[in-house]
Structure 1
């Protein structure tokens, strides 16, 4: 059963309101399309090349992590900064 990323985000934000996050926390959808249909999710503590590779291998459509992929402001995005295609 497909569920949109927005539905998943809405559920998570109901269970864990962004208003309870610290000022420095970077919560919410950081990369992607909220309208994308999601079939499989990989849950992880940190997003690394290995977790991205695992998500691809397992056919996951979404990664939910405790620590944000983007924590400090990005100043540039170049080819070497991209973790996955």
Structure 2
């Protein structure tokens, strides 16, 4: 399976979701500011990165985990869904 987390910029909530999924953050305590800021690409992407898939690794079941920022696009997510169904 492939997981694709998405949010407007692909640099905040989707990065946190990916980090919890890949166990980069401990779900048993609230992360510190430093832990969050050390996450890959947290608050580092720009609008030009919208639509670009970033691979962050595989989980314990070998599922690949990606993050994408969708910006204002209303066609990106349906397009990804269609692509995934073709694969």
TM-score between both structures, scaled by the size of structure 1: 0.28
Query: Whose relative contact order is higher, 1 or 2, with alpha carbons under 8 Å and at least 6 apart?
Result: 2
If each structure's strand is expressed as a fraction of its own residues, which one has the higher value? 2
